[in-house]
Each structure stands twice: as C-alpha cells, then as structure tokens.
C-alpha cells in the first residue's frame, strides 16, 4: 500500500480565508487508527495559567492556525519538500484543565505519551512555556535524556515563581532536576535584559549549558553560530523549544513578557535552518499572546517558524 501523504489544502481548492482553520490547512486527524499513519503532528496546547505578566497564550494555537493559511508546501530557500515524504496533520488541541496547573500538566504529559506511542513527531503550538516540561517528561520515556536548543529572552530556570514550582519561568530548572536533559547538549540563545541577581544566567552555565546572550547575536548572521550549536547538541535526540519572546518586540510584540534588544526574524530562521541534520524529535513555538498582537504579525511569525521546524525534521526530502 502506498504511504499516505496528507497535503495542505491549496488556495485554488478553497480560498485561503475560507474553510475550517487547521495548521497549514492540513486535515484534522483525530482517530487513533489514522494517527498511527502520521509521521508528524501539529498539536495546540492552549495554556496561559503559567504566565507571570500579560496572559493570553490560551488563544495562541487558534490564532497561529488562522495565520498559517498563507503557507505553501515548498520551501523555496532550502528546497525542503516536507509533504512529499512525511505524513503530516493537525491533531488538535490538548484538553487542558484551565483551573488547575498541576492537573493541566498531567493532562499534557498523558496526551504526549499517546502521541509518542503512535510514533508521531510532535510540533506544538503554545501556550505558555510551562507546557514544555510535560512534553519533555513524555519525551524522556520514549527517547531518554534529550539535547535541547532553546531560544528565549529568558533562561526559564527560576527555582520558583511566587512559591510555585511549576510556571513558565521554572521549566528548565525542573527539567534538569528531573534528569530530562542531557545537560552537555543544551544551548540557550537570545537571553537578555535584567536578572534578580547578577548571577542569574550562571545557573545554566553551571549545568553545562552553552548560553548565547542576545548581545552575542547583535548585528550579525547566526549561521556561523549554528555550526557551533550543532557540534554541541549533536550525538543524540534533540528537542527545539522556541519562545517567541526571543525575538525582538519590534517583530513579535504579541507576547506576555517582552524584552527589547532581541533577535530578528531573519536570525530566527537562521537558527531553525541551522538545526538541519540534527536528530530532532520534536519542537514547540510558545508564548504567542494574540490579545497583544494587534496586527497578527506575531502569530504569522509563529506559524512560519513552525513550518521551518517541519522542514528540518529527519526524513524531509529536498528538491
Ligand atoms: Mn520562555
Ligand atoms: Mn521568554
């Protein structure tokens, strides 16, 4: 039997502003039987009870889908043709408990356990950055400890936030404590602004992470940096976690905790394309907050970065 290859609905079959919004106008696949045939699944996690300033990421998945309607199948820069070799679909949203963080985190982990059991590579539409912890917990059970490429204005390694151990700013501290990361294969890119103490970023460095502060990225292409990043994180499974606030608020204002002096959209593309060749086992794009995204540009950017992630997954054909 020929391999099933779902295709995005074309602009000549249904106007791009019409139809039901799914990621890239792909089919929405819900049944376990059909999910078994998937290679990659886009998943929404509409969580925002982990945010510390401006909320709204609960609307992220829906708006990223709405802004993804322009994306066409072929990557004209890299030659990637993801839909020629991978079976990709939108598998919907995780039904989180929006009144209870610990229950929400439990639900997310169980959802990803099931996704991974079906052999699906997850590409996640967030949601605030809390969601990466339960995803990493599920990935550990399938792949063991993973390497990590983490783009963010913030290190997200707080011990607690307002006394809570699980929130969007504690994700990677918990991940280290729970032994989910291969700490010698972790890179954080784009960190900046102020700390609670002068040593805030050194906690990451002490774990063995390579920390690339935003200033190290200013005024230049990040393609050379990505050579170093690949050398650091290669040698096992790698997860890609992209907090949209890693990018400057000039391009990505629709987020909860914006910081000036960030990466450009072009650098964001260079980072993701620079992950080509790694053993990627999933990725997320988090912290898009549509209520602060008056033009839709932040969601548009998020949608395109998720497409770029799809293009660098193992097994994608190039033309
Ligand atoms: Mn973050
Ligand atoms: Mn952040």
CA of 255 to the centre of ligand 1 (A): 10
Q: Which residues contact 31 (CB under 8 A, 6 or more apart)?
A: none
| Positive or negative: CA dihedral 171, 173, 178, 181 | positive
- 166 vs 24, 50, 103, 108, 180, CA distance in Å? 32, 8, 11, 13, 15
Model confidence band, residue 1 (pLDDT cutoffs 50, 70, 90): low
CA of 292 to the centre of ligand 2 (A): 15
Model confidence band, residue 2 (pLDDT cutoffs 50, 70, 90): confident
170 alpha carbon, closest ligand: 1
Please write the tens of the pLDDT for every residue from 285-297.
Answer: 999 999 999 999 9
Mean pLDDT of 72-80: 98
Torsion angle defined by CA atoms of residues 245, 247, 250 and 256, in that order, rounded to the nearest 10 degrees: 0
Average pLDDT, the chain: 97
Q: In terms of Cα–Cα distance, which of 294, 301, 205, 217 is closest to 262?
A: 217
The answer to whether the CB of 130 falls within 8 A of the CB of 82 is: no
CA of 71 to the centre of ligand 2 (A): 26
Q: Given this model, what pLDDT does residue 62 score?
A: 98
129 alpha carbon, closest ligand: 1
Distance CA 90, CA 45 (A): 12
H or E segment to which residue 282 belongs: strand 279-286
The answer to whether the CB of 68 falls within 8 A of the CB of 24 is: yes
Q: Given this model, what pLDDT does residue 31 score?
A: 93
Please write the tens of the pLDDT for every residue from 118-146.
Answer: 999 999 999 999 999 999 999 999 999 99
CA of 310 to the centre of ligand 1 (A): 21
258 alpha carbon, closest ligand: 2
CA of 152 to the centre of ligand 1 (A): 5
- pTM passes above 0.75: yes
241 alpha carbon, closest ligand: 1
Please write the tens of the pLDDT for every residue from 147-189.
Answer: 999 999 999 999 999 999 999 999 999 999 999 999 999 999 9
CA of 316 to the centre of ligand 1 (A): 28
CA of 284 to the centre of ligand 2 (A): 13
Please write the tens of the pLDDT for every residue from 246-267.
Answer: 999 999 999 999 999 999 999 9
257 alpha carbon, closest ligand: 2
Share of the chain above pLDDT 90, in %: 99
Share of the chain above pLDDT 70, in %: 100
Domains of the chain are 31-314 (3.40.800.10)
Please write the tens of the pLDDT for every residue from 210-240.
Answer: 999 999 999 999 999 999 999 999 999 999 9
Distance CA 87, CA 5 (A): 5
CA of 129 to the centre of ligand 1 (A): 5
The answer to whether the CB of 141 falls within 8 A of the CB of 187 is: no
Distance CA 196, CA 40 (A): 39
Q: Given this model, what pLDDT does residue 81 score?
A: 98
């Amino acid at each position: 039997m020929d391999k099933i290859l779902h295709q995005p609905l074309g602009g000549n079959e249904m106007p791009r502003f019409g139809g039901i919004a799914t990621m890239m106008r792909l089919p929405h696949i819900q049944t376990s039987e059909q999910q078994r045939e998937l290679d990659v699944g886009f998943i929404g996690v509409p969580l925002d009870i982990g945010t510390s300033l401006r909320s709204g990421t609960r609307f992220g998945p829906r708006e990223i889908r709405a802004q993804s309607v322009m994306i066409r199948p072929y990557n004209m820069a890299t030659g990637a043709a993801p839909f020629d070799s991978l079976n990709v679909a939108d598998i919907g949203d995780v039904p989180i408990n929006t009144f209870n963080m610990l229950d929400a985190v439990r639900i997310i982990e169980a959802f990803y356990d099931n996704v991974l059991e079906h052999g699906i590579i997850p590409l996640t539409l967030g949601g605030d950055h809390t969601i990466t912890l339960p995803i990493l917990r599920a990935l550990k059970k399938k792949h063991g400890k993973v390497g990590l490429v983490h783009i963010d204005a913030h290190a997200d390694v707080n011990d607690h936030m307002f006394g809570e151990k699980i929130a969007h700013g504690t994700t990677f501290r918990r991940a280290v404590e729970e032994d989910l990361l291969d700490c010698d294969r972790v890179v954080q890119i784009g960190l900046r602004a102020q700390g609670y103490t002068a040593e805030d970023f050194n906690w990451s460095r002490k774990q063995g992470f390579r920390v690339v502060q935003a200033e190290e990225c200013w005024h230049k292409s990040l393609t050379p940096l990505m050579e170093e990043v690949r050398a650091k994180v290669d040698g096992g499974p790698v997860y890609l976690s992209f907090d949209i606030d890693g990018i400057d608020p000039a391009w990505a204002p629709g987020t909860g905790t914006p910081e000036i002096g960030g990466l450009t959209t072009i650098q964001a593309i260079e980072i993701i394309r620079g992950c080509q060749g790694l053993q990627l086992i999933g990725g997320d794009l988090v912290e898009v907050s549509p209520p602060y995204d008056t033009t839709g540009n932040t969601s548009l950017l998020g949608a395109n970065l998720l497409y770029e992630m799809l293009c660098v997954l193992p097994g994608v054909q190039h033309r």
